Amino acid sequence: MEVQNEEKGEALLELMTKSNYFTKLKPEHKKDDSFTVPLKVSSYNELNMMVSDLLKASIILLNPETKSFSSFTKDQNINVMTFLEIALQLLPEEEMELLDDLHKVYLEC
């Protein structure tokens, strides 16, 4: 029985390595048990709009008067904290520092 299970396990692993399964999460080598998810955007403006939309959706969902949207979805349990965590991770911190430096140069002109 164990030999059959081992063979099935090996076949499953072989199938997964030959195909493009489990490719979305990329291991982050800096931390254990942590992964990154690639997110393609066309510009910083698009990234900014994504963060803005996540924050707007969170504001709307936190408003007690807008909790009912049964016409959109059957599952009304939406975790706003997830939206906020995503928005926080999408903010381009280093680029904002660059914009501050560029703004200082602009003010000196």
> What is the predicted pLDDT for the residue at 68?
57
User: Is residue 36 within a helix (H) or strand (E), and if so which, with residue range?
Assistant: strand 35-36
DSSP, res 42: S
Instruction: Give the model's pLDDT for residue 16.
Output: 65
- Contact criterion met (CB below 8 Å) for 76 and 70: yes
Q: Which pLDDT belongs to residue 36?
A: 86
pTM above 0.85, yes or no: no
Which tokens sit at 18?
């030959």
Rounded Cα gap, residues 42 and 54, in angstroms: 17
In the chain, what is the straight-line distance between the N-terminal and C-terminal CA atoms, in Å?
79
Report the pLDDT value the prediction gives residue 10, as an integer from 0 to 100.
80
Domain range enclosing 8: 1-108
pLDDT over 70, % of the chain: 80
